[in-house]
């Protein structure tokens, strides 16, 4: 049997199976969204780096989230756009495995960074007097490095388990990019080890963290209700509501994709959910944090105010 197997060297990403009349408009629309994703997250990252008032643990983790979102989108979207403009939608097997590895790395790291951000809000609201001691820069750096290390390590194990499988056809992946569950369908061997590890990873980075965040936010809500001033309650709610919106979008979609039993009828739905996860979610995160956060809006305003005098001086020189 093994002697008759033909090993695949490239894979076809079926993507959106739409008419040619829709491919160019979709490509243009997704290109705009991708540009907004890079621009929005780039602005958030730049403002946090340049404005000293934002050099706090909360915005330190938000800068990591911005980098992850830019990387996450850049790993998946460019190939998807190229496939919309090209009838030959192939990707080499090595590139496909690398895309899967990076996709899992950024997704897992984002889950853990969101957990760390919720812990930061919990300490800030429930233990404000000990906040600077508990969330020292040393602790923040360790938490960020741990999140990235866990994301990389778990994704590496997934990639190793994937590479041990024989892939002898078919060559078609019914997805927008090399998503791990879709790639596993190409294997001509039993994938139960991979499936078990995927489930264990979901429990570790989705179910467990989500339970911890729910508990922390129960304590946060209790602490907010005890705040005497109306302004204090509004300020606390604004920072927490932004984080809750991002958590709800990210964890909700991830749990539907990876923890709901698979079926052929769900393939097209999973494509839409993955598109939202890869493109719309990274684009919405900067809007959620900037529109609902007075400090970010204030930093952006100060950055624009600094540029205006420079522009006037440049005009006078000319």
In tens, the pLDDT along 147-161 reads: 999 999 999 999 999
Euclidean distance between CA atoms 18 and 90, whole angstroms? 17
How large is the average pLDDT for residues 230-258? 75
Beta bridge partners of 12: 90, 172
User: Which pTM does this prediction carry?
Assistant: 0.84
Euclidean distance between CA atoms 180 and 215, whole angstroms? 31
Length of the chain: 318
The larger pLDDT score, comparing residue 117 to residue 254, is at: 117
Q: Which residues of 58-96 are buried (b: 16+ CB within 10 A; e: fewer)?
A: bbbbbbbbbbbbbbbbbbbbebbbebbeeeebebebeeb
CB 294 within 8 A of CB 238: yes
Q: Which residues contact 280 (CB under 8 A, 6 or more apart)?
A: 33
Euclidean distance between CA atoms 100 and 292, whole angstroms? 33
pLDDT in tens, 6-46: 467 888 888 777 767 777 888 888 899 999 999 989 988 98
pLDDT in tens, 203-237: 888 888 888 888 888 888 888 877 777 777 776 67
pLDDT higher than 50, residue 123: yes
pLDDT higher than 50, residue 314: no
Task: Round the CA-based radius of gyration of the chain to a whole number and report it.
Answer: 22
End-to-end CA gap in the chain: 78
CB 303 within 8 A of CB 50: yes
What values do phi and psi take at 186, rounded to 5? -85, -15
pLDDT higher than 50, residue 254: yes
CB 38 within 8 A of CB 73: yes
DSSP assignment letter at 189: S
Beta bridge partners of 134: none
Q: Where are the beta strands (DSSP E) in the chain?
A: 10-13, 90-92, 172-173
Position 266 confidence tier, pLDDT thresholds 50, 70, 90: low
Residue 47, pLDDT score: 87
């Amino acid at each position: 049997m093994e002697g008759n197997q033909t090993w695949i060297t490239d894979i076809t990403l079926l993507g959106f199976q739409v008419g040619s009349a829709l491919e160019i408009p979709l490509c243009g629309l997704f290109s705009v969204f991708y540009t907004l994703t890079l621009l929005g997250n780039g602005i958030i990252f730049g403002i946090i780096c340049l404005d000293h008032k934002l050099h706090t643990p909360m915005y330190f983790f938000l800068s990591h989230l911005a980098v992850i979102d830019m990387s996450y989108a850049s790993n998946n979207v460019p190939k998807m756009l190229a496939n919309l403009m090209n009838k030959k939608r192939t990707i080499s097997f090595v590139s496909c495995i690398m895309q899967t590895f990076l996709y899992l790395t950024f997704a897992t790291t984002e889950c853990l960074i969101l957990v760390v951000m919720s812990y930061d809000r919990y300490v800030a609201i429930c233990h404000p007097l000990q906040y600077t001691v508990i969330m020292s820069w040393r602790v923040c750096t360790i938490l960020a490095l741990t999140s990235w290390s866990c994301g990389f390590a778990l994704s590496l194990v997934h990639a190793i388990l994937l590479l041990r499988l024989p892939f002898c056809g078919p060559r078609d992946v019914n997805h927008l990019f090399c998503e791990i569950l879709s790639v596993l369908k190409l294997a001509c061997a039993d994938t139960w080890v991979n499936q078990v590890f995927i489930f264990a990873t979901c429990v570790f980075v989705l179910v467990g963290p989500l339970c911890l965040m729910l508990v922390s936010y129960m304590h946060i809500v209790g602490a907010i209700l005890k705040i005497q001033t109306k302004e204090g309650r509004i300020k606390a709610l604004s920072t927490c509501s932004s984080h809750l919106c991002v958590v709800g979008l990210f964890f909700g979609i991830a749990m539907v994709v990876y923890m709901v039993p698979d079926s052929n009828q769900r393939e097209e739905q999973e494509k839409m959910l993955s598109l939202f996860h890869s493109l719309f979610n990274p684009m919405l995160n900067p809007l959620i944090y900037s529109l609902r956060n007075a400090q970010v809006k204030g930093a952006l305003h100060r950055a624009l105010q600094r540029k205006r005098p420079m522009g006037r001086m440049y005009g006078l020189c000319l």
